[in-house]
Amino acid sequence: MSEKKQQVSRRQFLNYSLTGVGGFMAASMLAPMVRFAIDPVLQATGGGDMHAVVDVSEITTEPQRFDWTIEQVDAWYTSNVTKSAWVYKDENDEIVALSPTCKHLGCAVNWSGNPDYPDQFFCPCHDGRYYKNGLNVPNTPPNAALDLFEFEVKDGTLYLGNVVENTVQEGGA
């Protein structure tokens, strides 16, 4: 049995070498570009962050609107977004922080916004109404309760986080 000796010609060696070096150089140039292109997409979002909103001593039994600003990162674009909540203490001295976004079509609701219903939240877009605890008043356009903000109190300051579903079943304070 004869063994065939494999020989690499000078031309083949040159081809292999140039292909290898060229590939390495191309990868070196492309890697930073690809990373730059997709990096913002891979960044974790700050969705679960809690934001300082108000000193707890300012919270009363009357719903008050408090605003705060967050930095929103949308891929490559960073902007400041103002958020709002209606905050009060209920009859058990528990803090309630309601989203102002109407569950009908998303307008902003106001406490005491309708003089005929001074103890309710009112949505001016289609006369939607909610009880103080956020439950939607039957036979008005909204078909769900105002969402609640997750919250925590630290060193006398109220921090608000994500919005969660409000599962309240009966209208009340």
DSSP-assigned letter for residue 58? G
Which amino acid makes up residue 146?
L
Question: Which residues are CB-contacts of 121 (< 8 A; sequence separation ≥ 6)?
Answer: 63, 86, 98, 109, 110, 111, 113, 129, 130, 131, 132, 134, 146
Contact region for ligand FES (CB under 6 A) — 12-20, 36-44, 59-67, 123-131? 123-131
Does residue 128 interact with ligand FES by CB under 6 A? yes
> CA-based angle 132:83:46, to the nearest 5?
120
The count of other CB atoms within 10 Å of the CB of residue 123 is 27
State how far Cα 6 lies from the chain centre.
Answer: 64
Interaction between residue 135 and ligand FES (CB under 6 A)? no
* Residue 137 is a binding residue for ligand FES (CB under 6 A): no
Q: Does 107 bind ligand FES (CB under 6 A)?
A: yes
Minimum distance from CB of 145 to ligand FES (Å)? 13
Verify binding: residue 104, ligand FES, rule CB under 6 A.
Answer: yes
The stretch near ligand FES (CB under 6 A) out of 32-40, 52-60, 125-133, 161-169 is 125-133
CA distance linking residue 40 with residue 54, whole number of Å: 31
Q: In terms of CB distance, is 124 or 172 closer to ligand FES?
A: 124
Q: Nearest distance from residue 105's CB to ligand FES, in Å?
A: 4
List residues binding ligand FES (CB under 6 A). 102, 104-107, 123, 125-126, 128, 141-142
